[in-house]
Amino acid sequence: MVVALVFLLPLHTVFVPAGISWKPYLLTLIALVVWDAVDGLGERRWPWDRRASIAVGVLLVATTVGWSGLPEARGARLWLALLVGTLLLLVVDRALREFDLDRSIMRAVVWSAVAMAVTATVLSFAIVGTFGADIIEAIDDLPGIDRVGKATYLTEGFVALTNWHQDPGYAAAWMNLWAALVMAAWARGWAFSRWWLNAAVVGGLGAGTFMTMSRTGWLGFVVAVAAAAFFVHFRDRTPWLRLLRLLGVAFAVAVLLVAAFWIADRPGVGTDLAEAVDYRLSQGASLGAPIEGFVEEGIGAQDTRSVVWPRYVEAYQTHPISGIGLGVGWATPGMQEPHNLGLQLLGETGLLGLFAFAAVVYVIVRWGGGTIGAIALVVVASTAMTQTVFFEPTLWFSGALYLGKAGVDRTNLHSSDA
């Protein structure tokens, strides 16, 4: 069941709305939590890591202190998303520590990456108009599907791939994380026996990230493959020649796929790749977006980090201890979520939330270890500056890989570290 959970983790665009979004991975996680709890009750012990349990418990309490009545529903939903993330951390960590499911979990990542790369390729052709003007809308109208592509930023000619997520940036974050973990699995012999198949998967995910038109995603993919290459070379002693061969083929696959998308791009139908790329490149490292033609679902100028970030600083200065409360930023006119982990914590949970989160990080770093988890944490941390990863399972799954010492030979561990 843990294997199924990991395979489904990136799938966020398929769900049944009933108070909250009942996603496939969430249902699987609930079943695992119940299983662990019953197992622990039968053995008269706490089933999960005690240090991590205490740390996340404090975090869950600290993030409720500043709650406000205004956006109560959104604040509660965000808190539930945080609860889900912390339970994911505990459940996957236990599966790694007690049941040695390292290889099985990483194999699930590989096959999930394959599925994600395939859908990214097919949907990218759909977005550029290969299958007609209405195909994306038709897919989005299917029961249980939110969306697979998002018209954004420009009034026309800009449709970003969202693939397994509702948001292009988080879609890219998942594809980047999975690409890095495929490389880690390949280096250990846990992926496909034919090296070029692993390269093709990484390249397919890279092409998918390109089609999200997310600057954070583009940079994040470079960070992901570089971090994976660095760690598997210096920690796992994978020769540079093997790594460069893998990355060379992955790059070639990504370029060929993007070229195919470009050739298939139909003028006036779906996205216009030349226009979308030109717009993104014209932004450079800017934190804002031009107001003219800006159609981010009617949000307007406040969807620029240059506008939102100072307001979160003001929110922290006004309520430094408890913050203004989870969800208040989005419910306040002229604000929304900051797309920044630090500002999210400071502005909405204050110093209480920041220090509680730091305690969770300390537990993970102090008692965790291993190349696989280190790669995952670096990839997720690289997005924290421009994305709010606090409520996204990427953060908590990466923490679980490190805390659970994924890929580490436990027979060589001292009892105090086990």
Give which of 303, 8, 17 is closest to 146, Cα–Cα.
17
Secondary structure string (H, E, C) spanning the chain: CHHHHHHHCCCCCECEEECEEECHHHHHHHHHHHHHHHHHHHCCCCCCCHHHHHHHHHHHHHCCCCCCCCCHHHHHHHHHHHHHHHHHHHHHHHHHHHHCCHHHHHHHHHHHHHHHHHHHHHHHHHHCCCCCCCHHHHHHCCCCECCCEEECCCCCCCEEECCCCCCHHHHHHHHHHHHHHHHHHHHCCCCCCCHHHHHHHHHHHHHHHHHCCCHHHHHHHHHHHHHHHHHHHHCCCCCHHHHHHHHHHHHHHHHHHHHHHHHHCCCCCCCCHHHHHHHHHHHCCCCCCCCCCCCCCCCHHHHCHHHHHHHHHHHHHHCCCCCCCCCHHHHCCCCCCCCCHHHHHHHHHHHHHHHHHHHHHHHHHHHCCCHHHHHHHHHHHCCCCCCCHHHCHHHHHHHHHHHCCCCCCHHHCCCCCC
Q: Are 96 and 405 in contact (CB under 8 A)?
A: yes
User: Within this chain, do residues 5 and 77 fall inside the same structural domain, yes or no?
Assistant: no
Q: What is the per-residue pLDDT for 411? A: 63
d(CA 280, CA 153): 10
Q: What is the per-residue pLDDT for 289? A: 54
Q: What is the per-residue pLDDT for 256? A: 98
User: Within this chain, do residues 32 and 171 fall inside the same structural domain, yes or no?
Assistant: yes
Per-residue pLDDT of the chain (418 residues; tens, 9 = 90+): 899 999 999 999 998 887 788 899 999 999 999 999 999 999 999 999 999 999 999 999 999 887 765 555 677 888 999 999 999 999 999 999 999 999 999 999 999 999 999 999 999 999 998 888 788 888 988 998 989 988 887 777 788 999 999 999 999 999 999 999 999 999 999 999 999 999 999 999 999 999 999 989 999 999 999 999 999 999 989 999 999 999 999 999 999 999 999 999 988 888 888 888 888 888 766 655 544 444 444 444 445 677 788 888 888 899 999 888 888 887 777 677 888 899 999 999 999 999 999 999 999 999 999 999 999 999 999 998 888 889 999 999 999 999 999 999 766 554 333 3
User: Within this chain, do residues 63 and 176 fall inside the same structural domain, yes or no?
Assistant: no
Q: What is the per-residue pLDDT for 197? A: 97
Helices 341-367, 305-318: inter-axial angle, 10-degree rounding: 70
User: Within this chain, do residues 232 and 281 fall inside the same structural domain, yes or no?
Assistant: yes
User: Measured on CA atoms in the order 76, 340, 324, 346, is the torsion positive or negative?
Assistant: positive
Q: Could you list the residue range(s) of the whole structural domain that residue 348 is in? A: 54-95+304-418
CA distances for 313 relative to 168, 329, 342, angstroms: 26, 12, 10
User: Within this chain, do residues 5 and 137 fall inside the same structural domain, yes or no?
Assistant: yes
Q: Domain boundary at 272, 299, 326, which?
A: 299
Task: Report strand pairing: 149-151 vs 159-161.
Answer: antiparallel
d(CA 92, CA 242): 30
CB count, 10 Å around CB of 156?
13
CA distances for 64 relative to 103, 161, 379, 389, 416, angstroms: 37, 34, 28, 18, 34
d(CA 91, CA 32): 7
Tell me the residue length of the chain.
418
Q: Are 225 and 180 in contact (CB under 8 A)?
A: yes
d(CA 60, CA 345): 12
CA atoms within 13 A on the CB side of 335: 21
Q: Domain boundary at 299, 317, 343, which?
A: 299
User: Within this chain, do residues 104 and 89 fall inside the same structural domain, yes or no?
Assistant: no
Give which of 312, 365, 374, 319 is closest to 340, Cα–Cα.
312
User: Within this chain, do residues 332 and 313 fall inside the same structural domain, yes or no?
Assistant: yes
Q: Are 270 and 126 in contact (CB under 8 A)?
A: yes
State the virtual CA torsion across 320, 85, 145, 216 in degrees, nearest 10: 60
Q: Domain boundary at 241, 268, 299, which?
A: 299
Using the structure block, give the residue that is written with the tokens 């997005």: 383
pTM score, two decimals? 0.92
User: Within this chain, do residues 312 and 336 fall inside the same structural domain, yes or no?
Assistant: yes
User: Within this chain, do residues 275 and 232 fall inside the same structural domain, yes or no?
Assistant: yes
In the structure encoding, which two tokens stand for residue 250, read together?
């992955």
Q: Are 85 and 398 in contact (CB under 8 A)?
A: no
Domain count, the chain: 2
User: Within this chain, do residues 161 and 228 fall inside the same structural domain, yes or no?
Assistant: yes
Give which of 172, 152, 154 is closest to 10, Cα–Cα.
172
User: Within this chain, do residues 369 and 406 fall inside the same structural domain, yes or no?
Assistant: yes
d(CA 398, CA 233): 20
User: Within this chain, do residues 82 and 171 fall inside the same structural domain, yes or no?
Assistant: no
